[in-house]
């Protein structure tokens, strides 16, 4: 769709104010007419999800505790992939980490916890949607037997409906994601989960008004799924929204989705807030 410069500025101004005002006001300004759901405690999550949160889990725990020898696996799409060398499958190999937030988070972990002997892998694949993670899950997740599993996926599940003719819906995303995590819990009942919120920066190249309000549903689904499975949830949209107060979206991302170097550091810092030893 072609836009006049005036309409483009209007869209950026409207959605930018929404981002800075916070998720609840942002969604109202974007025309959803509803506010973001508050974070749920264990009792609220149990009520919302049929009376039970998975054993040994809490609704949106704040941090994952790391232990000596833990295997940490990062999974997702191009944001996690970040041009990693896919022929290098070794743990803690710099070229296998790519050039994004995963590299920076892994570097920080190795620097901060040299005594833990952590084993880290990046298995993000550019372009992936949830069902494509599932297609390679045995080799790229279950066989690695991670103690900590970090997943960031959902942007392509929505974006590709706009540009690639993908016919999946929000229900497809929700069902596929829950099936993937059910499968993971059955194979790895003690795995600690970290789920990142899919995010988009309005008005930066690829992210225009066609994304909203529909994309908000994918973000809400990721948060709900994190609560259901007792995962730590990283609110990346909020992280970026706060960063927009100090620099425009084009500073933090290359196209509204893929992080710049500064954006990668922003995400790595947020990720590091989810772990402790």
pLDDT at 206: 97
Q: What is the average pLDDT across 241-258? A: 98
Alpha carbon of residue 153 to chain centroid: 5
Cα gap 122→218, rounded to integer Å = 23
pLDDT at 62: 85
pLDDT at 250: 98
pLDDT at 60: 52
Query: What digits encode the pLDDT tens for the residues 219-239?
Result: 999 999 999 999 999 999 999
Cα gap 76→154, rounded to integer Å = 9
pLDDT at 40: 36
pLDDT at 274: 97
Query: What digits encode the pLDDT tens for the residues 143-167?
Result: 999 999 999 999 999 999 999 999 9
pLDDT-derived band at 20 (thresholds 50, 70, 90) equals very low
pLDDT-derived band at 61 (thresholds 50, 70, 90) equals low
List, in sequence order, every residue forming a beta bridge with 73; answer none if it has no partner. 121, 149
Radius of gyration for the alpha carbons in the chain, expressed in angstroms and rounded: 18
- Domains along the chain? 43-276 (3.40.50.1110)
pLDDT at 254: 98
Cα gap 126→156, rounded to integer Å = 9
Q: What is the average pLDDT across 98-107? A: 98
Q: What is the largest CA-CA distance in the chain?
A: 57
Inform me whether the pLDDT recorded for 3 exceeds 50: no
Inform me whether the pLDDT recorded for 13 exceeds 70: no
Q: What is the average pLDDT across 105-110? A: 98
User: At CA 257, angle to CA 31 and CA 175, rounded to 5?
Assistant: 70
């Amino acid at each position: 769709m072609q836009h006049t410069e005036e309409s483009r500025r209007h869209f950026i101004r409207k959605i930018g104010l929404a981002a800075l005002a916070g998720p609840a006001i942002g969604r109202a300004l974007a025309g959803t007419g509803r506010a973001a759901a508050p974070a749920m405690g264990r009792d609220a999550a149990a009520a919302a999800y049929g009376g039970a949160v998975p054993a040994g889990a809490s609704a949106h725990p704040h941090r994952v505790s790391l232990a000596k020898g833990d295997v940490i696996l990062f999974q997702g799409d191009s944001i996690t992939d970040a041009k990693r060398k896919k022929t290098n499958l070794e743990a803690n190999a710099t070229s296998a980490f790519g050039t994004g937030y995963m590299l920076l988070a892994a570097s920080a972990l190795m620097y901060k916890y040299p005594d833990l002997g952590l084993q880290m892998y990046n298995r993000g694949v550019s372009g992936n949607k949830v069902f494509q993670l599932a297609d390679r899950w045995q080799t790229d997740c279950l066989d690695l037997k991670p103690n900590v599993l970090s997943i960031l996926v959902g942007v392509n599940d929505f974006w590709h409906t706009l540009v690639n003719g993908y016919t999946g819906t929000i229900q497809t995303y929700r069902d596929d994601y829950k099936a993937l995590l059910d499968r993971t819990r059955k194979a790895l009942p003690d795995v600690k989960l970290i789920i990142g919120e899919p995010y988009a920066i309005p008005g930066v190249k690829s992210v225009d008004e066609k994304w909203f309000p529909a994309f908000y549903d994918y973000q809400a689904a990721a948060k709900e799924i994190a609560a259901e499975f007792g995962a730590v949830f990283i609110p990346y949209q909020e992280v970026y929204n706060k960063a927009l107060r100090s620099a425009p979206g084009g500073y933090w991302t290359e196209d509204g989705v893929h992080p710049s170097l500064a954006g990668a550091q922003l995400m790595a810092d947020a990720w590091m807030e989810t772990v402790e030893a």
